[in-house]
Structure 1
Amino acid sequence: MQVIKRLLYTACLSFPVLGFSQSTLLPQGYKHQPLMDRMEIMYRDSALSFQHLKPFDRRGWVRFLETLPAEQLSRVDQSNLHSALMNNSEWVTGDKSSFQSKKALFKTFYNQPSDFALVDVKDFFLSINPVVQFTVMKESDNSESLFQNTKGARGRGMIAKRIGFDFYLTDNQERPPSFVKDFIRDNRAVPGAGYYKTFKSTAFDYFDARGSVFFNVTDYINMQFGYDRNFIGNGYRSMFLSDFGNNNLFLKINTRIWKLNYQNLFMELNPSHIRRGDNLLDKKYVTMHHLSWQATRWLNIGFFESVVFGRANRFDFSYLNPIIFYRSIEQQNGSPDNANVGLDLKANIAKRIQLYGQLLFDEFKLSEIKGGNGWWGNKYGLQLGGKYVDVAGIKNLDIQGELNIVRPFTYSFRDSVGSYMHYNQPLAHPRGANFVEFVGIARYQPHPKLTLQGKLIAWKQGLDSAGINFGSRIGRLYTTRPFDYGWQIGEGRASTGINASLWVGYELKENLFLDGSLMLRKLDVPDDASLTRNSTIFSLGLRMNMFRREYDY
């Protein structure tokens, strides 16, 4: 990664002569994401058509919001619109007087309800906010008290509208439900976290530190260097890249011009490992390209490619090529690396419906497909989904349905370095491979302060049996497969699961939420009663300036 740091350093040296405005990005779990989804579908805006590359930039979001005819929106959308503008006030060009608090704390803090400390003067902007999440949970057939305890701070800023920066720092203690503990035991990783320690014998302690710097090379090219997460896709899950796992170091170059958006992403990751004391962990690297084309006002087409590789803890210079089609470079290198390609589509229809999909090819051989013998090497992932806003004319009632299918051994490789993982966690779908999954979500916001959401996730997956690799755990080498033909999705020890949840959230004050949820989770493994588990989990929590910690896998 030293070469990427050198490129960034060189760009920074030339930056002061440039005069292009720079925007920070919206955070993970952004509370106005439902509003963004709704407005993209209802107004088919070409700028929001690229919001499947998350996180999205604040400046572009505000520019779009300021064009909306507020008087035509529902009462709830109008309130959400005002809140979204206030939470991104540095880019608002109109009157900001409505953002001011009636009574600031000590005439210094909370001058506007969205920001604890706010500085907005010529050539300098800074926003600092506390981060808190305290949740207590009760799980059936579990005598332990479950909890999530998070505290920290987050902030963002700009210098002369040329350099942007943000940070997110939290200290976390967590005793999760039993099935999450099973994940931690099997993968030696806390979902979404990196290094962790045992806390109170059966809980976990970890630190979540993220940060980035941003600058524009031109009006059309944006660069971000940071330690954080990215997401590529329109769905609840992603076949390409999700924000499920741990943070990583990356350099991102995003070019947006005409009806095109082109993203280069260079990432430094950790291969699968077993941590034994204090030692330096090895590194591996991923390079990604994503090209989006807004073909019409309603249709967006995207092309994706990635290569996962390792070179004895050094970067391979050939993968610095900014032009798409990494596969040709990988072949020129002798095909030593894990290359993937993909296609995604999104169509907004009748200002009410969005259809979307992703198709990822890890490996593909047409002759074997025609043979119909279930060759192991035809590895792919498929996603098909749809969103429908204002269902049956009911304002702010939205639904989403999604089907995800991943063949056995997809994302895996012949060595542990090349697997599609970081810090023992999948880079894409949290379930790994060899599964079929359905996700259904209904969300209703009857009042600006009140949100209700029901979610149903059902899946079928083939698990390893008696130590035999059946292709679900992508960290295992695909060379350990027991045979070459006869592979179907679900091959191995059959398992089926359901994760159904109901969440109610009430916003007590700006960005301060009271959350209550009920989750029913059932995992059935007929061949192994020890893995069969039924759980009912009730939770109640208080959350401020951060996303909800969810157990949706």
Structure 2
Amino acid sequence: MVAVFALLTSAAVAQEKLPVIVPYNYLDIRELYLDTSNHHTAMRPKLHTDTSAMYTEPYTTKRSWVHRKLFDEHLLEFRNEDYNVFIDFLPDFQIGKSKDGSRTNWLNTRGASIQANIGTKFYFESYFYENQGKFPLYLDQYIRKQDIVPGQGGIKSYSGGKAFDFNMASALLSYTPIKYLTIDMGYGQNFIGDGYRSLILSDIQFSYPYLKLTANLGKVQYTSMWAQFMDKHSKNFATAYDDLGYYKKWGVFHFLDWNVSKRLTIGLFDAVIWPDADSSGRKRGFDWSYMNPIIFLRSAEFSEGSSDNALVGLNAKFKLLPKTTVYGQLVLDEFKLKEVFKGKGWWANKQAWQLGVKSFDLFNVKKLDIQAEYNAVRPYTYSYKSTLINYEHYNQSLAHPLGANFQEVLGIATYRYKRWYGRGQLLYSRYGDDPNPATNYGHDISKPYTTHPNEYGNYIGQGVKTNLYYAQGTIAYIFNPKYNLRVETSLAYRKLSNSLNKSDDLIFNIGLRASFRQFYYDF
């Protein structure tokens, strides 16, 4: 599952096959896994030149204008041999009930998008959403505590404090000067991995500005990205920096993806996070030593005498059968081999790992797909001495929504038939929570790891043992696949239990929705 992404095409320029822009989420990623070639599927968003997945029906003007706009076309289309521009209105109107029907939830979103390309080298997109909403109780409590709507930024009080007003924007400018290189300047999210979750870099959080260079050389794809994040936990800058708002921090990311064979792909990852200023407001700014595009900058970081936050990772996938792919990830935040071999649970052995499988056309039923995944993150992973430098943006992790100190298993099944879409999800997670705000057992990555109570004996699930169950079923009819306009209904069940708190909720929603945005409320 991903946020809104788009693709640039270089199709023939015949009247009915002009270059067109295809949202990545609709360009069926399953086809990339099913292809006999081993595509680079881990880095998203990505650009692609194949438009066949979107335009499966002949382009025609024989239908009425209303029919074409409702079912087949963008709201506004400007097609030309040299450029294309598509503009859409993106509504997201939902209403629902929670548990016994005593709580009414609703969402009122008005969105707009513009997508455009000039030739085959320049691509541009921009999305904006204005929202008001009232959420189920567990989300309402999370929003009030973190002062954000998950994945959608800060809030303002609405309807006498019973609901929230918030907005969301993203943009992307992409330039491909040669076929081997793509340059992206964006304001949005990125995702690295083949799973539903990513323990390396996920797309669960609010938008951030980034610059990304992607090189494709035969079987190797290499990405360098520089990004700026916001530390919403911290106070505003001192007087000299009041106009800059919350403290900022910077990140540099490298990902080398190698198609070893038609079955096996191995990806190597590293990241370094550093603060824009220290707690006294003294500016550091962008560190130009990190402009070095070579992977594994740990040596450069040490040469600068820096204590910046670095982590490395591995992403891999293997095509076990023609329609079945096994994938996984490994993350090392801090690591001492001798402490691992001791097996005494040293607090700074901070690792995370993932193992999953995807299978397509299950039981030979076309477009019946399943996915099963296991994720585990040791205590204190992604945390640091301060939120000025931890692996977090705008009060949300850059990796998993549960932070750290957890194990999770999940299963997802999807089925598509013509314009009908169905999805079912089951999730179980067990994590160790903190009994009070002053205690840190490693679940909340915004707490400094210097407050760990035990040097040894740290294990996944320590603290207040918490069980989380989540199940959701969704059925939708897609009116217009160009911008995913659909009528959708869903039913979700969530149960959380530990020695301090027990809650369960049954949530029903129905609505008219558009766009390819995906929000992660399953935590």
Q: Give the secondary structure class of the aligned counterpart of 1:245.
A: coil
Please state if 1:459 is matched with 2:424: no
Instruction: Report the Cα distance in structure 1 between the residues aligned to 2:267 and 2:197, rounded to whole angstroms.
Output: 16
Q: 1:118-267 to 2 correspondence within 5 Å?
A: 118-141=77-100, 143-200=102-159, 201-267=161-227
From 323, 337, 341, give the equivalent of 1:366. Answer: 337
What CA RMSD, in Å, does the superposition of the two structures yield over aligned residues? 2.2
Q: CA deviation at 1:323?
A: 0.9
From 29, 41, 46, give the equivalent of 1:36. Answer: 29
What is the identity percentage for the equivalent residue pairs of Structure 1 and Structure 2?
34
* TM-score, L = length of structure 2: 0.89
Residue type matched to 2:410 in 1?
Answer: V
Q: CA deviation at 1:24?
A: 7.0
Please state if 1:303 is matched with 2:271: no
Structure 1 residues 198 and 142: alpha-carbon distance in aligned structure 2, compared to 1, 3 A threshold? farther
Instruction: Report the Cα distance in structure 1 between the residues aligned to 2:435 and 2:485, rounded to whole angstroms.
Output: 46
Q: Give the secondary structure class of the aligned counterpart of 2:33.
A: helix
From 373, 390, 398, give the equivalent of 1:402. Answer: 373
Q: Provide the residue aligned with 2:16 in structure 1.
A: none
Contact 2:71 2:479 in 1 (8 A): no
Structure 1 residues 306 and 492: alpha-carbon distance in aligned structure 2, compared to 1, 3 A threshold? same
Q: CA deviation at 1:198?
A: 1.4
Q: CA deviation at 1:279?
A: 6.2
Please state if 1:551 is matched with 2:521: yes
Instruction: Report the Cα distance in structure 1 between the residues aligned to 2:395 and 2:513, rounded to whole angstroms.
Output: 28
More helix per residue: 1
From 23, 43, 58, give the equivalent of 1:53. Answer: 43
Moved more, 317-326 or 539-548: 539-548
Contact 2:230 2:394 in 1 (8 A): yes
Q: Give the secondary structure class of the aligned counterpart of 1:273.
A: strand
From 453, 457, 460, give the equivalent of 1:489. Answer: 460
Residue type matched to 2:41 in 1?
Answer: Q
From 483, 503, 506, give the equivalent of 1:536. Answer: 506
Q: CA deviation at 1:546?
A: 3.6
Q: Deviations over 1:57-85 (max 9, x none)?
A: 132x43xx5xxxxxxxxxxxxxxx3xx23
Q: CA deviation at 1:141?
A: 4.7
Residue type matched to 1:319 in 2?
Answer: Y
Contact 1:133 1:148 in 2 (8 A): yes
More strand per residue: 2
Residue type matched to 1:399 in 2?
Answer: I
Q: Number of residues paired by the alignment?
A: 490
Q: Give the secondary structure class of the aligned counterpart of 2:246.
A: coil
Q: Provide the residue aligned with 2:414 in structure 1.
A: 443
Instruction: Report the Cα distance in structure 1 between the residues aligned to 2:413 and 2:464, rounded to whole angstroms.
Output: 32
Q: Give the secondary structure class of the aligned counterpart of 1:491.
A: coil
Moved more, 483-492 or 117-126: 117-126
Instruction: Report the Cα distance in structure 2 between the residues aligned to 1:537 and 1:275, rounded to whole angstroms.
Output: 36
Contact 1:517 1:538 in 2 (8 A): yes
Structure 1 residues 285 and 520: alpha-carbon distance in aligned structure 2, compared to 1, 3 A threshold? same
From 446, 465, 468, give the equivalent of 1:475. Answer: 446
Contact 1:272 1:421 in 2 (8 A): no
Q: 1:313-462 to 2 correspondence within 5 Å?
A: 313=283, 314-445=285-416, 447-462=417-432
Moved more, 428-437 or 348-357: 348-357
Instruction: Report the Cα distance in structure 2 between the residues aligned to 1:509 and 1:111, rounded to whole angstroms.
Output: 6
Instruction: Report the Cα distance in structure 1 between the residues aligned to 2:479 and 2:20, rounded to whole angstroms.
Output: 29
Q: CA deviation at 1:142?
A: 6.3
From 484, 487, 490, give the equivalent of 1:514. Answer: 487
Instruction: Report the Cα distance in structure 2 between the residues aligned to 1:311 and 1:454, rounded to whole angstroms.
Output: 42
Residue type matched to 2:29 in 1?
Answer: M
Instruction: Report the Cα distance in structure 2 between the residues aligned to 1:42 and 1:214, rounded to whole angstroms.
Output: 27
Residue type matched to 1:513 in 2?
Answer: R
Instruction: Report the Cα distance in structure 1 between the residues aligned to 2:43 and 2:375, rounded to whole angstroms.
Output: 19
Q: Give the secondary structure class of the aligned counterpart of 2:453.
A: coil
Instruction: Report the Cα distance in structure 1 between the residues aligned to 2:385 and 2:360, rounded to whole angstroms.
Output: 44
Contact 2:234 2:247 in 1 (8 A): no
Q: Provide the residue aligned with 1:94 in structure 2.
A: none
Q: Provide the residue aligned with 1:289 in structure 2.
A: 254
Instruction: Report the Cα distance in structure 2 between the residues aligned to 1:497 and 1:112, rounded to whole angstroms.
Output: 40
Instruction: Report the Cα distance in structure 1 between the residues aligned to 2:101 and 2:350, rounded to whole angstroms.
Output: 39
Contact 1:133 1:546 in 2 (8 A): no
Q: CA deviation at 1:295?
A: 0.4
Residue type matched to 1:285 in 2?
Answer: W
Q: Provide the residue aligned with 2:4 in structure 1.
A: none
Instruction: Report the Cα distance in structure 2 between the residues aligned to 1:255 and 1:196, rounded to whole angstroms.
Output: 38
Q: Give the secondary structure class of the aligned counterpart of 2:302.
A: helix
Q: Give the secondary structure class of the aligned counterpart of 1:224.
A: strand
Runs of at least 5 residues in structure 2 that lack an aligned partner in the other structure: 1-18, 237-241, 278-282
Instruction: Report the Cα distance in structure 2 between the residues aligned to 1:106 and 1:187, rounded to whole angstroms.
Output: 43
Instruction: Report the Cα distance in structure 1 between the residues aligned to 2:223 and 2:23, rounded to whole angstroms.
Output: 17
Q: Provide the residue aligned with 1:26 in structure 2.
A: 23
Contact 1:400 1:441 in 2 (8 A): yes
Contact 2:234 2:387 in 1 (8 A): no
Contact 2:352 2:376 in 1 (8 A): yes
Contact 1:101 1:112 in 2 (8 A): no
Q: Deviations over 1:31-57 (max 9, x none)?
A: 44xx322x23322323xx212211121
Structure 1 residues 160 and 279: alpha-carbon distance in aligned structure 2, compared to 1, 3 A threshold? closer
Contact 2:422 2:475 in 1 (8 A): yes
Contact 1:495 1:524 in 2 (8 A): yes
Contact 1:469 1:481 in 2 (8 A): yes
* TM-score, L = length of structure 1: 0.84
Contact 2:150 2:520 in 1 (8 A): no
Instruction: Report the Cα distance in structure 2 between the residues aligned to 1:535 and 1:503, rounded to whole angstroms.
Output: 17
Instruction: Report the Cα distance in structure 2 between the residues aligned to 1:25 and 1:114, rounded to whole angstroms.
Output: 12
Structure 1 residues 302 and 546: alpha-carbon distance in aligned structure 2, compared to 1, 3 A threshold? closer
Q: CA deviation at 1:517?
A: 0.8
Q: Give the secondary structure class of the aligned counterpart of 2:194.
A: coil
Q: CA deviation at 1:275?
A: 6.7
